[in-house]
């Protein structure tokens, strides 16, 4: 398989899942600042010009983080990365959709890609403030869902690397996490697969999680 991704982006979640599977795969870096996602070779693979893209063994491309995560979990069931009961499986889909569609797509996107929401620079601060409000609300909901569980679905699943990438963004941008999310984030940072991926993407896992302090509201 081939993963087309950008270091430190949402594709980090898929990178972690692939590493957890312990399957052979190749990584191809897509530079968004350089416009690689609009170049003909990449558009031929992914006409959406988004990341990540997973090219599977049969040569077909799969896009969208929740879809790729779902397929990987079901294509490699021995890894047990998908909940076994219907209720938790449904909650896993719900959580992935909310993290990617709302916390990422409506929250962090307003901070990282403000121009996509308004071309008027005088509106940038208001757009980013709304993004932060969406992030804070989303984290509060996920913190309540996580509670004192080790992982969002109790057992480790494909949902956790997806939650991890928005926690990672919060850490990098100075957004505080609640106690449950901080504990989850730090637990994820101890996983060998996460550490390998972060190092491959140019980050030092030992330097992460230091800014998050226990005692924040949940």
pLDDT tens per residue across span 183-203 = 999 999 999 999 999 999 999
Across all residues in the chain, what is the average pLDDT?
95
Please give the pLDDT value at position 212.
Answer: 64
State percent of the chain over pLDDT 70. Answer: 96
Please give the pLDDT value at position 214.
Answer: 58
Please say whether the beta carbons of 158 and 66 come within 8 A.
no
Instruction: Give dist(CA 75, CA 96) in Å, integer.
Output: 18
pLDDT tens per residue across span 123-175 = 999 999 999 999 999 999 999 999 999 999 999 999 999 999 999 999 999 99
Strand pairing category for 26-29 and 53-55: unpaired
Please say whether the beta carbons of 136 and 166 come within 8 A.
no
Nearest to 5 by CA among 184, 191, 161: 161
Starting from the edge strand earliest in sequence, which strands make up the sheet with 26-29, in order? 26-29, 2-5, 53-55, 61-63
Please give the pLDDT value at position 218.
Answer: 40
Instruction: Give dist(CA 114, CA 108) in Å, integer.
Output: 9
pTM for the predicted model, two decimal places: 0.94
Please say whether the beta carbons of 17 and 81 come within 8 A.
yes
pLDDT tens per residue across span 4-34 = 999 999 999 999 999 999 889 999 999 999 9
Please give the pLDDT value at position 213.
Answer: 67
The full set of domains in the chain, from first to last, is 2-79 (3.40.30.10), 86-191 (1.20.1050.10)
Quick one: CA dihedral 145, 149, 153, 159, positive or negative?
positive
């Amino acid at each position: 398989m081939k993963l087309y991704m950008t270091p430190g982006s949402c594709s980090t979640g898929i990178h972690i899942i692939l590493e957890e599977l312990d399957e052979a795969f190749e990584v191809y870096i897509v530079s968004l600042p350089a416009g690689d996602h609009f170049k003909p070779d990449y558009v031929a693979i992914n006409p959406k010009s988004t990341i990540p893209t997973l090219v599977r063994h049969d040569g077909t491309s799969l896009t969208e983080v929740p879809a790729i995560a779902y397929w990987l979990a079901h294509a490699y069931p021995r890894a047990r990365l998908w909940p076994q009961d219907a209720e938790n499986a449904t909650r896993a889909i719900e959580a992935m959709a909310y993290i990617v569609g709302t916390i990422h797509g409506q929250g962090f996107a307003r901070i990282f890609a403000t121009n996509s929401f308004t071309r008027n620079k005088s509106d940038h601060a208001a757009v980013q403030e709304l993004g932060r409000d969406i992030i804070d609300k989303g984290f509060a909901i996920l913190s309540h869902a996580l509670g004192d569980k080790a992982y969002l679905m109790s057992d480790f699943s494909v949902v956790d690397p997806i939650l991890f990438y928005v926690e990672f963004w919060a850490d990098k941008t100075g957004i505080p996490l609640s106690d449950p999310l901080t504990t989850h984030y730090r637990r994820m940072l101890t996983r060998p697969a996460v550490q390998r991926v972060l190092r491959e993407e140019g980050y030092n896992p030992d330097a992460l999680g230091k800014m998050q302090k226990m005692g924040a509201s949940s």
